[in-house]
Amino acid sequence: MKMFSLEGKSALVTGANTGIGRAIARCMAEAGASVIAAGRSPCDETVAEIKAGGGDARYLHLDLSERDAPRKLFAAEKHVDILVNNAGIIRRADAVDYSEEDWDAVIDVNQRALFFMCQEFAKAAFARGAGGAIVNIASLLSFQGGIRVPAYTASKHAVAGLTKLFANEWAARGINVNAIAPGYIATNNTQALREDPDRSKAILDRIPAGRWGDPDDIGGTAVYLASPAAKYVHGAILNVDGGWLAR
């Protein structure tokens, strides 16, 4: 058995059009998985990059704000071995001013949709008598409170809790469920922070590794959690943050 190989596996990665999701999709393909790059926005560049490297990938339109999206997806996709719940949204405002509209939008995508994606994945796996792996993307705000992101913080705490619940229920049935809590990663979402000298310095001063994370740091961790090497890892929330939480 090749401990870190995903050969012969099908991996569905949500939010695979850019940043961390794109890196996870590429790393999964490099490990041998056939990748379904899913997202509300086209994932053409992700698919092209994987194919250029000799991998197998295709795009699947998926809008997780549609409440029936998980059921429809797994009704159409009969064989998915690995599910990576990366897609998520964030809305910022002071807690005292936070609107119900923003709260509902964030909770629906980051928490509700993730729950039902996991549920439908497990139903499909049990129906065909197979196991599998789920990798949820949590956050440092699964451990911390943050500021001005109440719904995001609540949803990411929920991701951590649900990951443990799923592990408790499904580990004995062959499904590994774990989560990654990324630290400060160099993506388009953090470009403004990285270009602000004072803010960037303050962030880097707290990170023992002394650098911003690379999206592949998350991609490699996702491959590990989906691979045979992690077959006895269940319910872990693995922070990949350069040591941020340790300080």
Considering the candidates 59, 152, 184, 224, report the single residue annotated as catalytic.
152
Told to judge if 184 belongs to the known catalytic residues of this protein, a careful annotator would answer: no
Tell me the C-alpha distance between 172 and 232, whole Å.
11
**What angle do the packed helices 150-170 and 100-107 form, to 10 degrees?**
30
Active-site residue set: 152
